[in-house]
A and B are shown apart, each in its own frame.
Chain A
């Protein structure tokens, strides 16, 4: 996961990266493990600037899945900050670049929600429901979007 140059660039560009090792940083691992409820390795948390957890990745993932999950977490941070345009752009980038990953249907869902949050125009929700009828059927996100149209 970590040696992938795309992952290195994304992490470097978007985060202050920190690591606690179960053996080499045992006291820190215990303290922050308790604080954030991390009970397994690898567990990767994406925290907003106030230290609030916005996304969690537990267990190994292949590179595309891992990078798309990192991007999903970063998009959720933008969403939580009310940066609707940035959040939509980040969510759509996941769908475009990694359409076959588990992150993609979740990203498609939130890409529809983001403009609605900005405008309260439900056109984006209806368009998202339509998009889900063409792809990602059978996912929980398609079920959740089905109520929109």
Chain B
């Protein structure tokens, strides 16, 4: 099962603060 990367980064950062959970942010040029 692949990683479910999200693209709504602003929302991810807000949720990270609320959930006190780290974020992995991937700057990618790989084929999608």
A residues contacting B by CB (< 8 A) are 2-3, 7-8, 11-12, 14-25, 28-29, 32-33, 36, 38, 40-51, 54, 70, 74, 77
Contact = CB atoms under 8 A, between A and B. Distances in A.
B6 A22 contact: no
B23 A47 contact: yes
A19 B4 CA distance: 9
B32 A24 contact: yes
Given A16-B21, A16-B22, A49-B21, A21 B28 contact: yes
Closest 4 CB pairs of A and B: A19-B5, A15-B24, A41-B29, A43-B27
25 contacts: A11-B3, A15-B22, A15-B23, A15-B24, A16-B15, A18-B5, A18-B23, A18-B26, A19-B5, A19-B6, A19-B25, A19-B28, A20-B7, A20-B25, A21-B7, A21-B32, A22-B27, A40-B27, A41-B27, A45-B24, A46-B24, A47-B22, A47-B25, A49-B16, A77-B22
Contacts of A2: 2-3
A66 to B, nearest CB: 12
A21 B27 CA distance: 6
A8 B3 contact: yes
Interface residues of B, number: 27
Given A8-B2, A32-B9, A50-B17, A44 B26 contact: yes
Nearest to A12: B3
A109 B6 CA distance: 34
B23 to A, nearest CB: 4
A49 B23 CA distance: 7
